[in-house]
Amino acid sequence: MEGLTRADGRDKDCFPIGNMRTHNELRVTLLPESKMANESDEVLSFYKHEGKERKRRTNGDYRNDSDTQCGIGKFHPACIQPLNNMCSFIFFSVGSILTSSTLSPYLVSQVTTLERQFNFSSASSGFILACNDIGFSLVVLFISHLFRNGHVPRILAVSTFIFGIGGLICALPFYLDTPKETINGQNVSDWLTSSYADPKNITDEDYMCKQQEKIMLTKNQNNTRSNVWALTLIAIGMVLQGVAKSVRRPMTTSYIDNNVKKTQTGKYIGIITAIGIFGPVVGFVVGTMCTKTYYNLKETNLSPEDPRWIGAWWLGYVIFGIAALVSTIPLIFFPRSQRKKPSSEDAIEMNEGRPETWTTTKNKKSEGNQAMKEIKKFFSSLRRIFQNVCCFLLLIGGGVDMMVSAGLFSFMAKYMETQYLFPAWKSNAILGTTTLVALSIGTLSGGMITSKAKLKARGCLTFICLCFALVAIFHASLLMVGCKFPAMVGPEIIPSRITYINGTIVPNCKQSCSCDDSKYLPVCSEDGTNYYSPCYAGCKSKNGTRYTDCSCLVAGSTVESGYCKNDCNHKIIYFSALLTLSALFGTMKIVPFSIAFIRMVEAKDKSLVIGVTSFLNSLLGWTFGPIVFGKLIDTTCLIWSSTVDSKQGSCVFYDTRRMKILNFSVSVGVSFLCGVIITIALFIFIKKENSKKYQAVKTVYHQDSIHQ
């Protein structure tokens, strides 16, 4: 062979030994044939060095364009390039993930507070909770498809910024609450808050035995407004939050799957989901602190155990809103993709799993009908997803299950307050602890089981069926755990009303004292009898926490604020244990659901099927779930407050036994139904698998017969 000594083209006969292209795009280097025999060590050293260079480029240590480099614009400093990996992305996404999953649980912890201050019914509270997912459902499908090739980290940054703005809007009712009127020198809210809001307006006279001439004045001063503006502002903020959070799950799932090995997808999705599950925990922790603080941060003579107590519900929205705005900063600097853009030589070996952006971004300007093509692709992908019977059944089963889970979760703190007579802060603390133990461990365990067992679609479906069965069993057990509402002297409508004490008829003070049933403030007499309010005990004065001069008591003349002691509070331990177990197995199926979906559809439909799942879960679950359960809870209300225009306000007194039966009987029935739906999907999938195997064997046998 004739060798050449130059790489500049002055000699004609040459051959390339290797490509020494680095991040500075060095020219091709050629070695002379005439010196190869004498310089064999240098040649071997060159090949070894070239192999290292190609390996480093394949692993992504060198980036050839801004789409694969950390930075923004032309700013790509070398010091931040080591952060260009999935672990760093997840670490810096923690703020975004947590804040985007805290505000809805935080609102759950403030349901009772908002109902007291703004005179909302449970149905109104359910509507506010649903507004988050109304915004989510409106955009999630289009975002999942149209942004599938976009710059995911920056899309997440923008959405988190919008989320923070939505949180601050939810806090506006507090800042717009400017007292403009006075009655007897006391501030009265103009249009946003009820008479409960200002501690100066809270008087014990409303709850005690009143003289006849004061009755009409008291009624006119204490009826509350229905605060439509507060409802509207909070709803707008929640809708914005829903729109903002719609990109998180489909975008992060697709980003992870495109930038890690396929066998590692389940693990990383499990980690992301587990971090998101900590959002409710943070929400309940902050909610607990806020409900222990009076709403205007001023001192008051009330205690958190008082039914008139209103916590600082707005403070959590401010905290989470500012945190969301700050957490957008690091996401801006992550690249579009964490894999090296392939050269023409590496395109074949790196083709599998590469993002479409490398092949489509450069041609976007030349596509005149890009929008119409995207719309056609969108509906084609939808058709493929819904024509997949197994995928369709999985969507329905998951959506219906989410409706019950969302409904129960939305009012679980309120349920514990009414069932076990806990103050709001204690219910939030218990629910937050349960959420921490169950949801985080359950989701992470589901991801690890899926990854370690290498579950495919069939294994995931089997695992999901088992989880549904266990959830139904634990929810059925919750029907047997609870407290009977304490017997008390009060209105005729309450189921545990006392009419006799030790054979002596209880005096009826409702007429003589003109007791208002909407003024619920339980008190305990010296003989251990509960009274609906100091008025039903005939009390006319107060000394500290004791009401005195009580004319309607069978024994004694004073009562103490709060319920008499009972032996039922220990049952909260059994309730919390069963609730934790049901939530544990309920969340263990989250990751198998996601893996089953993306393994049942074509690769190009992965992002959209996750978006469709999120859409149906949001529509059937978090949109209808809180509203349906809010309506169910309202049917258990026995006594309502009223507004100035004589409209129905918030509920004052619930039938706790009926509330328990409605909540958990519905849950058990739906869990059983969803388990049946997923089982049908499993059998259909097995049948399809067997049919494919049979066709493959038949084809091979036919080919062998032809050869013979």
363-384 pLDDT, tens digit each: 444 444 676 777 788 788 888 8
State which residues form the domain around 119: 83-177+226-338
Where do we find the tokens 């009274």?
Answer: 531
Where do we find the tokens 């201050």?
Answer: 117
Between CA 371 and CA 614 the distance in angstroms is: 24
Q: Is the alpha carbon torsion for 590, 593, 597, 599 positive or negative?
A: positive
Among 565, 597, 614, where does a domain finish?
A: 565
Indicate whether 205 belongs to any domain: no
Q: Are residues 546 and 667 in the same domain?
A: no
What is the C-alpha end-to-end distance of the chain, expressed in Å? 49
Between CA 702 and CA 54 the distance in angstroms is: 45
Q: What is the DSSP string of 39-90?
A: THHHHHHHHHHHHHHHHHHHTTSS--SGGGSSSBTTB--GGGGGG-SHHHHH
Q: Are residues 535 and 446 in the same domain?
A: no
Number of domains composing the chain: 3
3-state SS assignment for residue 639: strand
Asked if residues 39 and 13 have their Cβ atoms less than 8 Å apart, the reply is: no
Q: Are residues 325 and 459 in the same domain?
A: no
47: left (phi over 0), alpha (psi -120 to 50) or beta: alpha
pLDDT of residue 688: 82
Residue 285: closest CA among 105, 94, 96: 105
Asked if residues 470 and 296 have their Cβ atoms less than 8 Å apart, the reply is: no
Q: Are residues 116 and 131 in the same domain?
A: yes
pTM above 0.85, yes or no: no
Q: Are residues 278 and 397 in the same domain?
A: no
Q: Are residues 247 and 380 in the same domain?
A: no
Indicate whether 682 belongs to any domain: yes
Among 565, 595, 626, where does a domain finish?
A: 565
Q: Are residues 288 and 161 in the same domain?
A: yes
pLDDT of residue 484: 82
HSE-up (13 A, CA, CB side) for residue 214: 15
Indicate whether 185 belongs to any domain: no
Indicate whether 647 belongs to any domain: yes
Between CA 521 and CA 562 the distance in angstroms is: 8
Question: pLDDT tens for residues 191-223?
Answer: 333 434 444 445 677 788 875 544 443 444 444
Indicate whether 330 belongs to any domain: yes
Quick one: how far is CA 207 from the chain centroid? Answer: 39
Indicate whether 685 belongs to any domain: yes
Q: Is the alpha carbon torsion for 15, 17, 21, 26 positive or negative?
A: negative
Between CA 279 and CA 55 the distance in angstroms is: 39
- Which CATH number covers residue 662? 1.20.1250.20
3-state SS assignment for residue 303: coil
Give pLDDT < 50 ranges for the chain.
1-39, 43-44, 46, 53, 56-64, 178-201, 213-224, 340-368
3-state SS assignment for residue 566: coil
Between CA 262 and CA 350 the distance in angstroms is: 14
Indicate whether 206 belongs to any domain: no
Q: Are residues 593 and 652 in the same domain?
A: yes
pLDDT of residue 169: 92
The CA-CA-CA angle for residues 427, 433, 436, to 5°, reads 140
Q: Which helix (H) or strand (E) holds 126?
A: helix 122-146
Q: What is the DSSP string of 488-538?
A: EE--TTSTTB--EETTEEPP--HHHHT--TT----EEETTS-EESSTTTTT
Asked if residues 452 and 463 have their Cβ atoms less than 8 Å apart, the reply is: no
Q: Are residues 537 and 587 in the same domain?
A: no
Q: Are residues 154 and 247 in the same domain?
A: yes
Q: Are residues 582 and 445 in the same domain?
A: yes
In Å, what is the CA distance from 212 to each residue of 99, 209, 216, 512, 535? 53, 10, 8, 9, 13
Phi then psi dihedrals of residue 640, to 5 deg = -110, 150
Q: Which two tokens stand for residue 51?
A: 């192999």
Asked if residues 521 and 309 have their Cβ atoms less than 8 Å apart, the reply is: no
Asked if residues 177 and 192 have their Cβ atoms less than 8 Å apart, the reply is: yes
Percent of the chain past pLDDT 90, that is, above it, reads 10
Between CA 331 and CA 91 the distance in angstroms is: 10
Q: Which helix (H) or strand (E) holds 187?
A: strand 186-188
Residue 279: closest CA among 342, 327, 232: 327
Between CA 341 and CA 359 the distance in angstroms is: 10
Among 539, 565, 591, where does a domain finish?
A: 565
Between CA 569 and CA 199 the distance in angstroms is: 30
Between CA 510 and CA 597 the distance in angstroms is: 61
Indicate whether 221 belongs to any domain: no
pLDDT of residue 463: 92
Q: Are residues 467 and 493 in the same domain?
A: no
The CA-CA-CA angle for residues 227, 232, 237, to 5°, reads 135
Between CA 159 and CA 135 the distance in angstroms is: 13
3-state SS assignment for residue 654: strand
Task: Look over the chain and give the mean of its residue pLDDT values, rounded to a whole number.
Answer: 75
Phi then psi dihedrals of residue 232, to 5 deg = -65, -45
Quick one: how far is CA 97 from the chain centroid? Answer: 10
